[in-house]
């Protein structure tokens, strides 16, 4: 998404993403009936209308919407794990690197410094 945002901006093209939470066959197996009743496709038409006009300044925005809820979703880059492509154990190194990347405690901030993210978990 970020690449599309940056490349498109050079030509005046904005790239936003709508992640709709709508009723589908798959959703019927996951969500309770009271939530499914609120998951109609028409529920996110308004956000589409807001993102389309040429004067809209949004670019690179991800909006999750449906079932009476709406929120902006942000992608947080993790720390960078360097790999040596010439190392014979490159494939194994990727597996180890992926495990490190899955830890969301340390983020790579826009200025290049490390940040700490507190993850709250509730039952």
User: Residue 16: its pLDDT value, please?
Assistant: 92
Residue whose token pair is 């039952």: 123
If asked whether residues 59 and 8 sit together in one domain, one would say yes
User: Residue 83: its pLDDT value, please?
Assistant: 80
Give the C-alpha distances (Å, rounded to integers) separating 12 from 5, 9, 62, 94.
10, 5, 18, 37
If asked whether residues 69 and 100 sit together in one domain, one would say no
pLDDT average, residue stretch 93-114:
67
pTM of the complete model beyond 0.75: no
If asked whether residues 9 and 56 sit together in one domain, one would say yes
If asked whether residues 98 and 111 sit together in one domain, one would say yes
Return d(Cα 101, Cα 107) in angstroms, integer: 9
Residue 122 has pLDDT above 70, yes or no: no
If asked whether residues 7 and 46 sit together in one domain, one would say yes
Which are the contacts of 50, defined by CB distance < 8 A and separation ≥ 6?
56
Domain boundary among 73, 92, 113: 73
If asked whether residues 63 and 85 sit together in one domain, one would say no
**DSSP 3-state of 18:** strand
Beta bridge partners of residue 69, listed in sequence order? 66
The domain containing residue 108 runs over which residues?
77-123
How many domains does the chain fold into?
Answer: 2
Which pLDDT tens digit goes with each residue over 1-17?
Answer: 788 888 998 998 999 99
If asked whether residues 69 and 86 sit together in one domain, one would say no
Which pLDDT tens digit goes with each residue over 27-76?
Answer: 888 888 888 888 887 877 888 889 989 899 899 999 988 888 889 988 77
| Better-scored residue on pLDDT, 79 or 15 | 15
If asked whether residues 86 and 27 sit together in one domain, one would say no
CB atoms within 10 A of CB 15: 17
Least confident of 15-29, 44-58, 103-117: 103-117
Return d(Cα 61, Cα 79) in angstroms, integer: 22
First vs last C-alpha separation in the chain: 32
If asked whether residues 41 and 56 sit together in one domain, one would say yes
- Residue 3 phi, psi dihedral angles, 5° rounding: -65, -45
Least confident of 40-44, 98-102, 112-116: 112-116
Tokens describing residue 43: 């529920």
If asked whether residues 22 and 69 sit together in one domain, one would say yes
If asked whether residues 25 and 13 sit together in one domain, one would say yes
If asked whether residues 69 and 96 sit together in one domain, one would say no
User: Residue 113: its pLDDT value, please?
Assistant: 53
């Amino acid at each position: 998404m970020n690449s599309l945002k940056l490349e498109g901006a050079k030509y005046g093209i904005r790239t936003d993403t709508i992640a709709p939470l709508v009723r589908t066959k798959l959703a019927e197996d996951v969500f309770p009936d009271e939530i499914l009743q609120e998951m109609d496709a028409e529920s996110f038409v308004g956000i589409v209308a807001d993102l389309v006009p040429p004067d809209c300044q949004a670019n690179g925005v991800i909006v999750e919407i449906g079932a009476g809820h709406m929120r902006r979703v942000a992608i947080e880059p993790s720390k960078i794990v360097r790999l040596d492509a010439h190392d014979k154990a490159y494939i194994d190194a990727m597996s180890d690197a992926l495990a490190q990347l899955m830890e969301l405690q340390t983020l790579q901030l826009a200025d290049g410094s490390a940040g700490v993210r507190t993850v709250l978990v509730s039952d």
